[in-house]
């Protein structure tokens, strides 16, 4: 399959009347920063790398220097533990003598070793010769039940932490952490949504593993950081967020005058944008995720397996590809899994499931893939249909409400527009349903459009009430127009596209400041920040501002051309404050010293 373009997933229309312009989004991954907004409306930031865990809703006290009493660990014990910690042999161990010690004293040793040496684990054993109890300290290579229990203290079974990542998708970041920490299942991490790969993103994650297990992440992974650890009572669920705050650089803005740029951002701030689901909703592999969603909804299980497994062909040898294509034959799934370069992948989980349950028990095999991922396949199909229907609606009816449209009333109950109430609503009130078993569909032409989409996919409406209850889709509603909040922007000049124009949470933690640009820079960039509600896409918002195809294929072409232009630009070392442009004080503020 060729690379997806916006038109392939139903994104064809704009609502603003302003002039568009050319620019490059995400030329550097550092040009796109996302901070999650939690359910309390607070922007999530990485503010510390501390490994100390505090209770949720309890204030974080200043971390004290760890003191080791002489009666807990001797100097000889500390030296032995340090040597073991640096030992690469799996069978290596160290014994702490505890002759004459009480259970509480041994417990204190266990706790102290866990704090000082998170890569080691302890176990009380009996000396075979003396029959005395002693503590055996080993390298930590597997997830022990004792470590799991230590995190489930007094009704706080989960650890919530802030995940900061650079140029890696959330799912891939979780898989990488699993691999580095020698954990098996992605299910032990929960998060509200998958953040973009190409960007610097910050979000909250919960886990059932002990906080001590997370400590090595900051030392062994260069593009991932964890911090702000808090023990909590409940795990994150998909959709547990209020939105996201975005800080974005659009480089090499062309074909627009200052007055037109003002008009574009004013329209964006006051009118908003068509609330399409963005390209990342539909995957980056050779098989769009909505195709997998179709097959799951219609219970075409063999087709589902074929589609998912074909996503890893580009990284496999011909021998492995042949095994994967013939996964129905005995032992082929296990052989293919053993040859995969990335076993901690969704394709790997599926092959492992097939090898365990057999090629006839595909529902059980698919369940080896984390539920969040499987539901994203279904949601992708819903999003695909929604995009296509909304585009037809704007093409047919324009940007005004019409009879038969749906709106949400004051009690959050969907109601139809009719001649008597249509003047009470605007286009910003109109909603469109995502397909499901419990939604109400519009009574105008859109009703038939939905039926046409289902028929083309081989789906009957009754299939949304899925026989496998895990895949039951009640449906939902989504406003067809969305408006951003807290829009701030300015213009900066630059010569080198590789020089940063934003400061990340990690930059700020390390004492960095927001870049100011170059006074005599040859190229112009739009620097903009804003907040969107959950399930809204910044790339879609920027698409409305610029009126250009923001798909990766199109942006890559523009980026490659700009790299050549930058190589010919004369460098300059003069740093000045950016040139600011004021649009409308009531709706747009100048970006000045904003904490991004």
What is the set of active-site residues?
196
Chain mean position to CA 293: 19
Beta strands in 66-218 (DSSP E): 93-97, 120-126, 133-139, 158-166, 189-191, 200-207
Paired sense of beta strands 243-254 and 93-97, if any: unpaired
Dihedral angle computed from the Cα positions of residues 289, 452, 540 and 409, in that order, rounded to the nearest 10 degrees: -120
Residues 6 or more apart in contact with residue 301 via CB below 8 angstroms: 295, 362, 363, 366
SS3 track for 323-366: HHHCCCCCCHHHHHHHHCCCCCCHHHHHHHHHHHHCCCCHHHHH
User: Tokens in use for 17?
Assistant: 């009347």
Strand-pairing partners, residue 102, are none
User: Tokens in use for 73?
Assistant: 């660990």
* Among candidate residues 291, 318, 320, 315, the one with its CA nearest the CA of residue 304: 291
User: Tokens in use for 534?
Assistant: 């959950």
User: Tokens in use for 25?
Assistant: 């989004």
* Among candidate residues 213, 278, 230, 188, the one with its CA nearest the CA of residue 38: 230
Residue pair 546/255 in contact (Cβ under 8 Å)? The answer is no
User: Tokens in use for 417?
Assistant: 């527009």
Residue pair 266/353 in contact (Cβ under 8 Å)? The answer is no
* Residue 275: φ, ψ to 5°: -85, 50
Supply the Cα-derived Rg of the chain in whole angstroms: 27
Which residue carries 């294929």 as its tokens?
Answer: 553
Dihedral angle computed from the Cα positions of residues 338, 344, 346 and 348, in that order, rounded to the nearest 10 degrees: 10
Beta strands in 438-539 (DSSP E): 476-479, 481-482, 485-494, 523-533
* Among candidate residues 407, 581, 359, 571, the one with its CA nearest the CA of residue 490: 581
Distance CA(103)–CA(80), nearest Å, equals 22
> What is the secondary structure of 21-88 as a DSSP string?
-EEEESSSGGGEEEEEE-TTSPBP---------EETTSPPPPPPPP---TTT--HHHHHHHHHHHT--
User: Tokens in use for 43?
Assistant: 């922007």
């Amino acid at each position: 399959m060729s690379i997806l373009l916006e038109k392939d997933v139903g994104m064809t229309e704009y609502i603003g009347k302003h002039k568009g312009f050319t620019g490059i989004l995400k030329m550097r991954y550092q040009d796109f920063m996302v901070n999650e907004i939690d359910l309390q409306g607070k922007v999530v930031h990485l503010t510390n790398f501390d490994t100390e865990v505090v209770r949720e809703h309890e204030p974080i006290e200043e971390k004290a220097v760890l003191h080791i009493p002489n009666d807990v660990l001797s100097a000889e014990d500390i030296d032995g533990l340090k040597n073991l910690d640096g030992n690469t042999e799996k069978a290596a161990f160290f014994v702490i003598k505890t002759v004459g010690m009480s259970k509480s004293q041994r417990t204190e040793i266990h706790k102290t070793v866990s704090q000082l040496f998170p890569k080691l684990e302890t176990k009380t054993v009996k000396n075979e010769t003396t029959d005395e109890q002693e503590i055996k300290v080993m390298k930590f290579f597997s997830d022990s039940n004792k470590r799991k229990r230590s995190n489930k203290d007094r009704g706080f079974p989960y650890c919530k932490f802030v995940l900061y990542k650079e140029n890696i998708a959330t799912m891939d970041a979780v898989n990488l952490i699993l691999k580095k920490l020698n954990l098996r299942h992605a299910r032990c991490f929960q998060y509200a949504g998958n953040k973009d790969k190409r960007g610097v993103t910050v979000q909250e994650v919960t886990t059932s593993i002990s906080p001590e297990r997370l400590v090595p992440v900051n030392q062994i992974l260069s593009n991932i950081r964890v911090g702000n650890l808090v023990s909590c009572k409940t795990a994150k669920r998909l959709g547990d967020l209020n939105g996201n705050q975005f800080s974005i650089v659009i480089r090499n803005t062309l074909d627009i005058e200052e007055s037109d740029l003002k008009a574009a951002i004013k329209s964006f701030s006051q009118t908003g944008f068509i609330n399409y689901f963005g390209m990342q909703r539909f995957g980056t592999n050779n098989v769009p995720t909505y195709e997998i969603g179709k097959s799951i909804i219609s219970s075409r299980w063999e087709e589902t397996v074929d589609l998912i497994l074909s996503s890893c062909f580009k990284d496999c040898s011909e021998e492995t590809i042949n095994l994967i294509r013939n996964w129905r034959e005995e032992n082929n799934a296990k052989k293919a899994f053993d040859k995969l370069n990335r076993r901690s992948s969704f394709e790997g989980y599926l092959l492992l499931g097939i090898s365990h349950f057999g090629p006839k028990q595909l529902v059980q095999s698919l369940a080896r893939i984390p539920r969040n991922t499987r539901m994203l396949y279904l949601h992708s199909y819903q999003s695909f249909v929604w995009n296509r229907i909304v585009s037809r609606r704007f093409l047919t009816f324009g940007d005004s409400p019409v009879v038969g449209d749906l709106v949400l009333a004051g009690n959050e109950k969907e109601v139809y527009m009719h001649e008597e109430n249509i003047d009470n609503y605007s286009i910003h009130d109109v909603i469109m349903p995502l397909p499901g078993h419990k939604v109400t569909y519009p009574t105008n032409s859109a009703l038939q459009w939905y039926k046409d989409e289902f028929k083309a996919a081989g789906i009957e409406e009754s299939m949304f009430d899925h026989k496998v209850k895990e895949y039951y889709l009640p449906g939902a509603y989504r406003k067809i127009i969305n408006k951003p909040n807290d829009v701030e922007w300015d213009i900066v000049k630059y010569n080198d596209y590789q020089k940063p124009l934003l400061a990340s949470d990690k930059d700020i933690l390390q004492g960095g400041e927001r870049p100011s640009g170059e006074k005599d820079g040859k190229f112009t960039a739009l620097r903009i920040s804003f907040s969107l509600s959950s399930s809204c896409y910044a790339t879609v918002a920027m698409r409305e501002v610029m009126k250009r195809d923001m798909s990766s294929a199109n942006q890559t072409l523009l980026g490659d051309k700009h790299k050549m232009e930058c190589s010919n630009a004369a460098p300059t070392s003069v740093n000045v404050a950016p040139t600011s442009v004021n649009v409308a004080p009531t709706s747009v503020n100048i970006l000045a010293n904003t904490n991004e």
